[in-house]
Amino acid sequence: MTFHTLSYFAWRKEQLRGTIAKGCTLIHVDAHPDDMPAGKLAPCTSLAQAKEQALSLWIDNFIHPLIRDRSIAKKCWVTPFWLEEFGTKAWELPGKEWFAGKDVLLSIDLDYFSCVEEPYHAATPNEIEAETKNLVKELQKRMLSPKVITIAASPDYTVVDDLPYASVKLLKALKKAGMWD
């Protein structure tokens, strides 16, 4: 998908289809938390309503309504290694017990690899490859099989030159691990 806010629509759609239940655990792989408070939304009962709601949200608050209505019970924000040099502690994925008994959503924003916002970071191909392999390895170590995976290009935030390489590497690694068709 182009914009990360469309993850909201993808998750609501899967909820309406019955693919995922309320109380999911979200693994949010991103340079930004994207969970600033948002206004309360009406209960979502249709795809048309989910689309309308998704379009009313912004990049910094699209997760909050799902936490508020308990669609997402837990969120793990996995931050990029390069934010550590700017004072943001890199988050690690918790142990597999933390995910037990819950549907897992995996949300990846490609600005995790390269970000045009302050603090600016343009990833090298080696960094993209290493981070992709590490992410998939960490998911496998916890025996996680996400029910829904969303990948956002976020062209307003990601170094555009890195988009094709990062998306290809990520999709290949997820396919090889059996997490992506």
Predicted confidence (pLDDT) per residue in 33-68, tens digit: 898 888 788 889 999 999 999 999 988 899 999 999
Mean pLDDT of 111-128: 89
Task: Identify residue 142 by its one-letter amino acid code.
Answer: R
Q: Given this model, what pLDDT does residue 132 score?
A: 92
Q: Given this model, what pLDDT does residue 175 score?
A: 94
Give the pLDDT band (50/70/90) at residue 89: low
Q: Given this model, what pLDDT does residue 38 score?
A: 84
Find the helix or strand (DSSP H, E) in which 50 lies. Answer: helix 47-56
Query: Above 90 in pLDDT, residue 98?
Result: no
Q: Given this model, what pLDDT does residue 10 score?
A: 96
Query: Above 80 in pLDDT, residue 85?
Result: no
Residue 5: Cβ-neighbour burial (10 angstroms; 0-12, 13-18, 19+): buried
Query: Above 90 in pLDDT, residue 166?
Result: yes
Q: Given this model, what pLDDT does residue 147 score?
A: 94
Q: Given this model, what pLDDT does residue 88 score?
A: 63
User: Is the C-alpha dihedral spanning 73, 78, 83, 85 positive or negative?
Assistant: positive
Query: Above 90 in pLDDT, residue 171?
Result: yes
Q: What is the percent of the chain with per-residue pLDDT over 70, rounded to a whole number?
A: 97
**Distance from the first to the final alpha carbon of the chain:** 16
Q: What is the mean pLDDT of the chain?
A: 90
Q: Given this model, what pLDDT does residue 148 score?
A: 95
Distances in whole angstroms, Cα of residue 4 to Cα of each of 94, 112, 139, 155, 168: 23, 12, 21, 10, 18
CATH match of 6-158 with 3.40.50: yes
The closest of 6, 98, 85 to 53, measured between CA atoms, is 6
